[in-house]
Structure formats: C-alpha cells, structure tokens
Chains A and B, each alone.
Chain A
C-alpha cells in the first residue's frame, strides 16, 4: 500500500517522513541505477563508517521488485539497527528465529491476500543465519516456504564486539577470538542448494548490478516456486580493522560470485526476462 498522510497532519509529521511519502520508492518501479534520486531512509543511519553492510542494505532495498508489498524480517545484529530507518515494513525477531517468523508471516499473508504478491524477505547476519538460527533457516528450506533468505556475511559477530562465527574463515583472529578460528567457514551456499532452495546466489556490494539481478531473481523465484537464498559478502571494517576507505577494494578482492538455479527456476527467470 502506498502511504498517505491524513489531511491536516501533513505539517506535524517530521520532515523525513513527509519526504519518504513524497519522494520514496513505493509504487515507482525504481532500480539500483536510480539510487540517489529517491528517499530511502530517515536520516543518520547508525552503522560504522565504511560498513559494507550499510551499502549492501541500500542495494538490497533498491533491488526489491515491489517495496510497498515487501516485509523484511530480520534479527539481532548490526543490520538490525539500520533496518528501522528504512521505508520498508520490518519485523525484528528474537535472535535466530527469523526464518520461522517469516514462514508464519508468509503463510498468513497468502491467506489474507490471496490475489496479491506479498514478498517476505529475511535479511539477517551470519550469526543469525548460519549459527544460532541455522536450524530454523534450514527447516524453512526443507518445508519449501516461499520466502527469500538473504545473509549479510560479515564473517563474525560484529555488533557484540568481534566473536568468531561459523562463517569466519579458518585461522582468522578477532578481538574476542584471540587464538584464531579452528575450523573452516560453513558452506552455506551448498547447504542451501542441498536443502531445497530453488535459487541460490553469492555476491557482494562491489558488484551492484549483479547483486540487484540476484536479489530480484531470488524474490521472484520465491514467489512462484519455493525458498531462495542469497549470500552477500560484506566485510566489517571495525572488527577486521581496515580503513573505511578500503572497504570496497577488500570486498571486490574477496568476493565470490556464484549462482545456482533449479530447472523450474531457470525456466521462470527466462520467461520473466530477468
């Protein structure tokens, strides 16, 4: 639904809300190429300078096929403190519960709006997706829920000061993992594919057009076929101790672009021209 302000209250609403209504993305079919020409979020986002997560979130939001009918379900993490400032419906679930909450929400929306697409997109960090919430993430895939899961992979628990996560690479030393990670990064791409995701992709914000394509494909496949997964590599400047100005170079150097689609998904994507 496109938001409108009740008559007479236009002047009392804070200016950023008025701008979101007047110049926001709803109903305008905007894309990543249009970034900078529309209002995306209320002012002063709280993530660190040079955070690849904040760039990834901007790109994800600008890639949504239908932002006015999208609900993002997130969980605790750096990204969750930026989410409430976006012009997107957003649910914050308890740590790790995001795919269970998203499953229930999607089922309820199918009943409530049988003739409409309501996209439910999980956006969560690697701790929420690949560690604490792994069971609920995988079970939503086993159940073939029509939801998209996007993991913001910054390879650690950044919001709580730098513990290793299962997505941290082997040998990496972090503030709260002084002995170095003792086992390799969890292979979430393969887990998603083997768990029944119809579309699986890995990308980074250093390739914005590719990211847009993958997020759109994932959402369109989730609508029609079944669960989809996108893994976005977005390194954390603060805990990995690099300068904010190096973020994009680091991201580009280490990004791995991969894409898998089932035959149904391939057929759909070709039909839609995506």
Chain B
C-alpha cells in the first residue's frame, strides 16, 4: 500500500477551514523543531524568526486572544505562577488582546459558555462566537493542545500560535518550543519593539 505520508514541502499548516477531519500535521510529514528552532506553517525556522512572526501576527490582528490552559491558570507551583505573570505581561503588550481561559479539559454538558471559556472538545465555538482571528495557546497539556489546534484548523479561519514548554506543536501555525519565563519576556520585548517601531 502506498504511504499516506507526504513530504514536508507538500503540506502547509495554514488557517482553515481545512476539513471536518483535518489530518494531524505530523501524519502529513511536518516534524517538530530542534532546540533553538520554531515552526511557521510547518516550516522549521530559527526561534528568532518565529518570535518576530508571532509579534507581527498579534499586532496585526483584529481580535487577538490568549487562551491560558490549566498549567498556568492554576497556582500549582512557583514556576506556574511566574509563567502566569510573564504571560499577562505579554498580553498587556498587545493592544486589545483578550484572555479567554481553558480551566480544564472535561466536556461540559449541556453546553459551555463560549463567551467566558474555551475547551479542547469544542474550541471552534469560542472562536466563532468571539470572532477571534489570531490566538495564542500556553499552559495546555500537549495532547489537549493538539486536539484543540486540529479542531480549530478543521473548522475556523483562526491563526493559531502555540507557546509550548515542551517540543512544540505541528498543528499550530506558529509554534515555539521550550518556552519558559525568560522566553516569554523575550517575546514580549519583541512585541514592544515592533509596536513602537510601527507608531
């Protein structure tokens, strides 16, 4: 049987809607970046280039939104608290950026309130309802981030950015890896520099 795996140059991780069951980017040949690198639409770039691209996307967005996950929303450790503070500084650097939390991953019945929360099982509802064009994920456990990112690509035209503490996310349009407090502060500085430069 012929392999369904395509080479990386054939596939781009771009905003959808792609398909009801969009393929996992990894199954289309997209590979994770090495340390010091990032991903832009499936292509490996340097971390610096990825940070500049994130800043541009956020500053150019109509409705940029930050989705903090349980790893930063809940004060489970000093590390989590420090990261939460750094992420809030990043949000302040982007004019008009909103925060919509992902407090846990459990499916909510009969429905979630898309105005006040996002959930990996139906992230598209929150994005449609709030007309979000660019979003940032941080503090979401890997498998739930992958699930949410794939559903977003499948059903919305939102541009997704993942600030990952581990090796990154192929299913986000831009992904950084090994993101800790000092990296978030560096990203905030890039955002501030570009914002000041564009005045």
Query: Which residues of A come within 8 Å of B, CB atoms?
Result: 1, 3-9, 12-15, 17, 42, 44, 46, 81, 84-85, 90
Contact = CB atoms under 8 A, between A and B. Distances in A.
A6 B74 contact: yes
Interface residues of B, number: 23
A4 B110 CA distance: 26
Contacts, number: 56
Contacts of B74: 3-6
Given A1-B76, A13-B73, A8 B106 contact: no
B73 A6 contact: yes
B75 A5 contact: yes
A85 to B, nearest CB: 7
Best-surrounded residue of A4, A8, A44 (most CB of chain B within 10 A): A8
Nearest to B85: A8
B68 interface: yes
The 7 closest A-B pairs by CB, nearest first: A84-B106, A6-B84, A46-B109, A4-B75, A6-B75, A12-B99, A8-B88
B31 interface: no
Contact of A14 (B88, B103, B106, B110): B103
Nearest to B139: A6
B24 to A, nearest CB: 22
Q: Which of A9, A13, A14, A17 has the most CB of B within 10 A?
A: A9
Interface centre among A5, A6, A15, A44 (most CB of B within 10 A): A6
Contacts of B76: 1
B84 A90 contact: no
A9 B68 contact: yes
B49 to A, nearest CB: 30
Interface in B66-114: 68, 72-76, 80-81, 84-85, 88, 99-101, 103, 106-110, 113
Contact of A7 (B75, B103, B110): B75
Contact of B73 (A5, A15, A44): A5
B116 A14 contact: yes
Given A5-B73, A14-B101, 10 more contacts: A5-B74, A6-B72, A6-B73, A6-B80, A7-B81, A9-B68, A9-B88, A12-B99, A85-B106, A90-B106
A7 B110 CA distance: 30
A120 B100 CA distance: 32
A211 to B, nearest CB: 25
Given A6-B81, A6-B84, A17 B75 contact: no
18 contacts: A3-B74, A5-B73, A5-B75, A6-B72, A6-B75, A6-B84, A6-B85, A7-B84, A9-B73, A9-B84, A9-B99, A9-B101, A13-B101, A14-B116, A14-B117, A15-B116, A17-B103, A84-B107
* Residue with the greatest number of chain B CB neighbours at <10 A, chosen from A12, A13, A44, A84: A12
Contact of A81 (B75, B81, B109, B117): B109
B188 to A, nearest CB: 14
B189 to A, nearest CB: 19
Contacts of A5: 73-75
Contacts of A3: 74
Contacts of B100: 12
Contacts of B107: 84
**Central interface residue in A14, A15, A44, A84, by most chain B CB within 10 Å:** A14
